[in-house]
Structure 1
Amino acid sequence: MSTTQTQRKFEGWAAMDENSVKGQMKWTEYEPKEFADDDVELEVQYCGICGSDLHTMSNGWGSAKDMYPQVVGHEIVGKVVRVGKDVKHLKEGDVAGVGAQCDSCLECDSCKKGEENYCSKGIVGTYCAKFSRTSSGSKSYGGYANFWRGPAHFTLPIPSNIDPAEAAPMMCGGVTVFAPLKQYGAGTTAKDVGVVGIGGLGHFAVLFATAMGANVTAISHSHKKDEDAKKLGAKKVIVTGDDVKAAFKGHERSLDLIIVSSNAPNMPFDAYLSLLRPHGHLVIVGVAEEGSLPNVHPFNLIMSNVHISGSLIGSVKDIAECLKFAGDHNIKAWVKRYPMKDANEAVVSMKAGDARYRYVLVNEEHGGKMNA
């Protein structure tokens, strides 16, 4: 171990309690997991701000109660500065990233099939979790920080044809919609795709579905994002307002696939199902803090043989495919960059709904760039 590795100090913006989401994070030193032979260490250059960060900081999902202080951030890109002896796909100096998952058992059927995000023993989140396979009991810490340490299996090289600042939000937000779009045949068997909610996830869904060759319909509560949706690639925009039934009249059975990216409570799922053709799929990727699914009348499923499902982030393979697809198709995330020192300001703005459509924290001390 080099002197630099021995003396490296891990510091980050820590949520100390539920009020941290109001811009009250504190820059704090913390102890990462013990370095293992299959680990890597990154100098954090960029970290996207995800809606999950805010739900965790505020304990809105009930996951953080016993985990404070907690450094969030799971859309991490940086330079590899340390590599365990068992790591073969990365070397010091590479630009690499990690998403919302940083470990799993790697032994169950799901893991062996390359679906680590559905690990039978549960996934280890990149923050607000505890390692069990190695460094048992150590907390995982995220990327609002100067360094990140974790299992290399979940750390991928960033393609050279993607701006690393734009790659960061693809590590979670991008792949969260890319995976179900790919799974359910966007642009092939699903020619017509609807996207509910034009936000951080939704903007990615429109970008990716359009690039896959689908005709995209953006579905939004108001007209505020009509022009943005069209610039992102949507062919049509449906604004529901306060009368969903009237808004959807004439659009029944016009879509093959709907991605629900909004995390608004009490969404009209019965009405969304009316938009699907027979055998169509409605896939939920956004989760409200209330976490409940409103009642759906069975006849609305039976009469058209339509399906409601969910999709969780993406596997390691999904992330690699997402990044390659973005590079090959020149997909540009809509990103606003904040200096790492202004993380509290960025979080407050994100919570207020100001993002159009992803925020990325930039660590200039480690080579992150404020301009593209």
Structure 2
Amino acid sequence: MAVFCKAVADGLLLTLSLALLGWGAEGQGNGRGMREVSGRATVYLGQDRDIWRPLIHTTVNLSEISSIKSSFQLRTFDPEGIIFYGDTKNGEDWFVLSLRDGIPLMQISKGDMLVSVVGGPKLNDGKWHTLEVSNHGKFVILEVDGSNGLVVGMQSKQTEEFISGQLRLALGGILIDKEKMIVQFEPQMDGCVREGSWLNISVPWETEAEELRPCYQNIQPGSYFPGTGFAIFNTSVSPTEADNEVKIELWGDFSQMDGTILSINAPGQELMFALMVNNNTKEITIFAEDKITTKNYNKRLAITIQADSLTVIQEDDESTAIYIFSHPGYLTTWREGRLAIGGLLGEGEDNVGSQFLTGCLKKIQVQGKDLDLDLAVKHMSISSHSCPA
């Protein structure tokens, strides 16, 4: 996959349409500047914050724990990200459960042991799955939908010690340095957790967020743009193919979208290229050297950038339209520029709120590889891997 580094994004405002949302986590203040949340609440893990920082967390005295089992339900299309974390001894012994390639990954540190194990079924199918993590003597067991997903055995030559003090739990982040883990991964998770039962404790969890973002009641694969922000990639670090061309492909029902689908420019230069769709007129507008407006019947849009030409292909189930623009420097601008998905780059980009995309892009590819919006600088309202169904 072409690797894109994060670029500097402009400050953007969030306005989510509650009509598209299902239910969320409710909470109240605790007098310490944090809101309290029930452990059984439905929590969207992809809410914007420092990407390694927990979304919600709790601390409990080990003497109050009567069960060494935690269970919860998880739903996601995202193949990678942190689910939950726990530790004792202020982070000396710790446990991390995440997904990588859609498969559960457990990493455990205890005394002189550091263990990493991956296995079980793929969970990023958009369905609710019940996960249960429990400790049985020298074994840590992860059950998925009632069946063993992972079993990790650990035995140390060190003398077992009685552990006292506190235990910390966190959802969507970790409380240790990420460099301590054996397996590195992207932490952001576009997913939801609900119905949590955490070590049979009833103490509330805490969050620093002023408001927890709700979860969509039903979802489908794709990247959802609610009309409040866009994702920016730095294309100057994107390698081009040996034949010196770049191909960008987008799939979706464009007749249900409104706003800017995509734009490209280089710093200090005029807008090189943009695609915009109008849901009222059912038209799509292509901005390059010329401006072309056509009827919007698309299921797929493909843009090919070469040294002195740019080709746009509109395609649905029955027909194809091709538009070619000629001008020197297209590929040079790409190599020096930025790619925005869901918004308009260029002069006045601080004031283009009406141009933000509203709708679901089912798939985005660059050079034939899926583009992961988690690798972009993006507005917190964008869901990288799921759309409301």
Higher relative contact order (CA 8 A, sep 6+): 2
Which structure has more helix as a fraction of its residues? Answer: 1
Larger Rg: 2
Which structure has more strand as a fraction of its residues? Answer: 2
Relative to the length of structure 1, the TM-score reads 0.28
